[in-house]
Structure 1
Amino acid sequence: MLNHSSGGTIGSYSLNARCAAGSATIDVRNNTGGSLSEAIVIQFALVKAVNAQAARRKARP
């Protein structure tokens, strides 16, 4: 979960998170036609999930 909380022009940026095993990448995109060089503040939260169905299948002999 990502939020552009302050700094820069709110709404001028798109945020996207990509997760992998043990890491995450945050992409920031300028939605305006102009050049922006503002320092923005991003709030984020990490949520861990487990697929219990897959875990049970792996545990069976």
Structure 2
Amino acid sequence: TVEELPAFYAKRTLLGEVILPEDIANACFAFVGGLLNKSTGNALNVDGGVAMGFLR
């Protein structure tokens, strides 16, 4: 059911948490707000560890 979806997706992350739109917005703000102004050529995964979980 729709109510079970957040728990289902949370289980798929290494952090065990649902990734919210605010989490993605905070990552974008870090880039454009100058918090990561010395960082170049990187991909910032905001996925709670899903990408790394597939490598295990």
**TM-score of the pair, normalised by structure 1:** 0.21
Q: Which has the higher strand share?
A: 1
When Rg is computed on C-alpha atoms for both structures, the one with the higher figure is 1
**TM-score of the pair, normalised by structure 2:** 0.22
Q: Which has the higher helix share?
A: 2
